[in-house]
């Protein structure tokens, strides 16, 4: 029988992403950015249970488009505060785990509605704090709303007794999903609202409690989301907000009362978390579960029969959207030799038209800053190394002449499959252009890294497209379209090999990662 919530909520549909062509929408978003900038002195406390803590000194969240400004101030936790946060989460779990699934789902539905009403303000926080262009920020907020709406419906689907095959014995049989316990949520800065909100709410809607340690580069965004949940009635201790550095993160992962770790970030950190979590600690009575979405070295393969204009559009959008700072970003264009020069020319033509600038000052910016000075230096070193290894810079290759951490959209040609730029994740606006002898060679090159997250294949040949389905070894494959822009429910997201545990965020399998199944037989 359908629940009241199921009856009152229509089937899931993705939230629309705005282009800001409407002058009224542009004006409203500009006003929200101004409001956010006037709040740069606001301080966002640590939240543990019902307490709000402000252990000095406060830390500024630097804005990458203008390092002399900041988005707000936060406070860094210590391992001792991490212990308190775990304890508060464990105390809250005793009651939250028994709250009805429908009530927990209701919180997510209310949060989605509230976020929908405050889109411009959430967008503004991302435009300023991490330098997202307007449409990218709006897509991030839309995805966060999608996660809330989708996971709420998934919780209703998983609630209550799950049917079993009828038994030949005189007994009643069913299965129920139970929450795991206290989880640690470690989200990234590149989708600072969507992924953070999705990871957090997937855990709590299934009855778990969490300690949320946001990235230092997007702490203010996370703080505002937690404030929203509390405003809507989230009980104390269900989500504990704990900014901090690597020492705090390590302590949370190691803690004997941590039941699971949900992580999105780099391969190196994800592998370390997996290793640390695998070692049982004194008093630990479970095997910790690790949900890890890590990096990628994503390829766009273009066959000689592909649509070159469509491929060029897809490559540029995938490679340089949000300055290439996406695990799904196109990092390699692998092109069959007969069309290599023609496609390269089309890509370079489009790259030359990209507008670089501060998104907080210009709604039309295509490419904003990279996230911080460390990334700025690392990306420049990656470009220099590519040149040292024989690559030729066909476009970009230098910092943009702007105040913040801006790097020109860069295309490097003459890259062979074994070179560093063809193997290692850059996480910036850098694209390796790679020549393949034929389609077989192109697929071999695409599969020739330790990653397997996303990929795109452009071809008009049904046989080649079918081969892509069978042989292109990635978790998310897109044919004749770009390799970024996964939609919740439509493109469940997660990758193979060193790209993570193939979590399929935004899919029907995802909430199962945060529960354990209990089979029950009752004799009649």
DSSP string of 150-161, one letter each residue: HHHHHHHHHSSP
Would you state the pLDDT for residue 493? 98
Would you state the pLDDT for residue 194? 98
Torsion of CA 318, 321, 324, 328, to 10 degrees: -50
Classify residue 50 by burial, with Cβ atoms within 10 Å: 0-12, 13-18, 19+.
exposed
| 245: three-class secondary structure by DSSP | coil
Would you state the pLDDT for residue 176? 97
pLDDT tens figures, 335-369: 999 999 999 999 999 999 999 999 999 999 999 99
Catalytic residue among 88, 293, 336, 413: 293
DSSP 91-111: HHHHHHTTS-HHHHHHHHHHH
pLDDT tens figures, 370-423: 999 999 999 999 999 999 999 999 999 999 999 999 999 999 999 999 999 999
Distances (CA, A) of 168 to 172, 174, 519: 10, 14, 16
Would you state the pLDDT for residue 8? 73
Would you state the pLDDT for residue 147? 98
* Bridge partners for 413 per DSSP: 392
The Cα 423–Cα 428 span in angstroms is 14
Would you state the pLDDT for residue 9? 84
Would you state the pLDDT for residue 64? 98
Tell me: cis bond preceding 409? Omega within 30 of 0 counts.
Answer: no
Is position 483 annotated as part of the catalytic site? no
CB of 212 within 8 A of CB of 125?
A: no
Is position 327 annotated as part of the catalytic site? yes
How many Cα neighbours within 13 Å face the side chain of 29?
A: 27
The Cα 86–Cα 94 span in angstroms is 13
CB of 209 within 8 A of CB of 258?
A: no
Question: What does the pLDDT average to over 219-241?
Answer: 98
* Bridge partners for 330 per DSSP: 298
Handedness of CA 425, 426, 427, 432 (dihedral sign): negative
Handedness of CA 326, 328, 333, 334 (dihedral sign): positive
pLDDT tens figures, 145-154: 999 999 999 9
pLDDT of residue 240 exceeding 80, the answer is yes
Cα 495-501-505 angle, rounded to 5 deg:
70
Of the candidates 345, 320, 349, the residue with the CA atom closest to the CA atom of residue 335? 345
Question: What does the pLDDT average to over 226-251?
Answer: 98
Would you state the pLDDT for residue 1? 42
pLDDT of residue 55 exceeding 80, the answer is yes
pLDDT of residue 3 exceeding 80, the answer is no
Residues in the chain: 524
* Bridge partners for 162 per DSSP: 175
The Cα 179–Cα 75 span in angstroms is 30
Mean pLDDT over the full length of the chain? 97
**Full set of structural domains in the chain with CATH:** 23-57+72-294+503-523 (3.40.605.10), 298-487 (3.40.309.10)
* Bridge partners for 59 per DSSP: 74
Question: Is the whole model's pTM more than 0.95, yes or no?
Answer: yes
CB of 298 within 8 A of CB of 331?
A: yes
Query: Any idea which of 7-21, 40-54, 189-203 has the lowest mean pLDDT?
Result: 7-21
pLDDT tens figures, 97-130: 999 999 999 999 999 999 999 999 999 999 999 9
Question: What does the pLDDT average to over 298-323?
Answer: 98
Catalytic residue among 327, 336, 413, 425: 327
Question: What does the pLDDT average to over 233-242?
Answer: 98
* Bridge partners for 505 per DSSP: 493
Would you state the pLDDT for residue 7? 65
Question: What does the pLDDT average to over 174-180?
Answer: 97
Of the candidates 332, 501, 336, 323, the residue with the CA atom closest to the CA atom of residue 423? 332
Distances (CA, A) of 53 to 56, 77, 211, 213, 284: 9, 9, 15, 15, 29
The Cα 111–Cα 202 span in angstroms is 13
| pLDDT above 90: percentage of residues in the chain | 98
Question: What does the pLDDT average to over 132-136?
Answer: 98
| pLDDT above 70: percentage of residues in the chain | 99
Of the candidates 318, 275, 274, the residue with the CA atom closest to the CA atom of residue 297? 318
pLDDT band at 4 (very low <50, low <70, confident <90, very high): low
């Amino acid at each position: 029988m359908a629940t009241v919530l199921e009856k009152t909520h229509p089937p899931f549909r993705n939230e629309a992403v705005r282009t800001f062509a409407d002058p009224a929408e542009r004006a409203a978003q500009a006003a929200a950015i101004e409001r956010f900038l006037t709040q740069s002195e606001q301080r966002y406390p640590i939240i543990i249970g019902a307490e709000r803590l402000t252990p000095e000194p406060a830390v500024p969240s630097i804005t990458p488009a203008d390092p002399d400004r900041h988005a707000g101030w936060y406070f860094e936790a210590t391992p001792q505060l991490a212990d308190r946060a775990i304890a508060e989460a464990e105390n809250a779990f005793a009651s939250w785990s028994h709250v009805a699934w429908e009530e927990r789902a209701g919180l997510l539905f209310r949060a989605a509605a509230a976020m929908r009403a405050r889109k411009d303000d959430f967008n503004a926080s991302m435009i300023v704090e991490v330098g997202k262009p307007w449409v990218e920020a709006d897509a991030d907020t839309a995805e966060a709303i999608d996660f809330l709406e989708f996971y709420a419906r998934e919780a209703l689907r998983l609630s209550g007794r799950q049917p079993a095959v009828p038994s030949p014995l005189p007994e009643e049989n069913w299965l129920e999903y139970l929450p795991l316990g206290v989880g640690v949520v470690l989200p990234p800065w590149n989708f600072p609202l969507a992924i953070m909100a999705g990871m957090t709410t997937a855990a709590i809607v299934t009855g778990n409690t969490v300690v949320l340690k946001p990235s230092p580069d997007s702490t203010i965004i996370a703080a505002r989301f937690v404030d929203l949940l509390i405003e809507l009635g989230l009980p104390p201790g269900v989500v504990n907000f704990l900014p901090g550095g690597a020492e705090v993160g390590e302590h949370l992962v190691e803690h004997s009362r941590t039941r699971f770790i949900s992580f999105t970030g780099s391969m190196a950190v994800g592998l370390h978390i997996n290793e640390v979590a695998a070692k049982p600690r004194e008093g630990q009575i479970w095997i910790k579960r690790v949900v890890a979405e890590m990096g990628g070295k994503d390829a766009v393969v273009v066959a000689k029969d592909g649509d070159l204009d469509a491929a060029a559009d897809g490559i540029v959008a995938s490679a340089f959207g949000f300055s290439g700072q996406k695990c799904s970003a196109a990092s390699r264009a692998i092109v069959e030799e007969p069309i290599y020069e023609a496609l390269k020319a089309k890509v370079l033509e489009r790259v030359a038209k990209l507008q670089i600038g501060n998104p907080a000052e210009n709604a039309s910016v295509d490419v904003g800053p990279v996230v911080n000075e460390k990334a700025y230096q690392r990306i420049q070193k990656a470009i220099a190394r590519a040149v040292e290894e024989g690559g030729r810079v066909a476009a970009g290759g230098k910092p943009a002449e702007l105040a913040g951490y801006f790097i020109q959209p860069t295309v490097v040609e003459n890259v062979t499959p074994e070179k560093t730029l063809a193997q290692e994740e850059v996480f910036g606006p850098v694209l390796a252009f790679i020549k393949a002898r034929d389609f077989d060679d192109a697929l071999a090159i695409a599969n020739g890294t330790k990653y397997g997250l996303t990929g795109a294949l452009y071809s008009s040949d049904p046989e080649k497209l079918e081969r892509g389905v069978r042989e292109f070894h990635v978790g998310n494959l897109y044919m004749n379209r770009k390799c970024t822009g996964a939609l919740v429910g439509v493109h469940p997201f997660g990758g193979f090999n060193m790209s993570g545990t193939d979590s399929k965020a935004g899919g029907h399998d995802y909430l199962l990662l945060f529960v354990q199944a209990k089979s029950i037989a009752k004799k009649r």
